Structure 1
Amino acid sequence: MGLLESIKYAFIAYKEKIGEGMLYSIILSILNILWFIPIIGPIILAFIYPTVLRKIADEWKLSIDSMDTSETRKVALIVMAPMLILHIVLFGVIIDVLSHTFSGAKNSGALLTVLLSNITIIAICILIALVVSALFLYSFYALVLGKERRIVIDVKKSISIMIFGIILGVMGSILSMIVSVIPVIGSVIEMILYFLVFPVIGALAVLHYTRSL
Structure 2
Amino acid sequence: MQGLHFWGLPAGLAVALSVGVILSRQVFWEGGRPIRVILVDDAMISMGFARSLAEGCGLVWYCGHPRVQGYTNLGWTLYMAFWHKVGLSPEYTSVPILLTGLGLLIGYVYGLYRLGKLLWGREVGLWAAWIAALFPPVIFHFSKGLEAGLLAMLGVYFLMELLGGRRVWLLALISAVGTFVRLDFVLGVGALLVGDRFWRGDFFQRRDWGLLLFSG
TM-score range, shorter chain: under 0.3
Give the structure-1-normalised TM-score.
Answer: 0.26
Higher RCO (CA < 8 A, seq sep 6+): 1
Give the structure-2-normalised TM-score.
Answer: 0.25
Query: More strand per residue: 1 or 2?
Result: 2
Query: More helix per residue: 1 or 2?
Result: 1
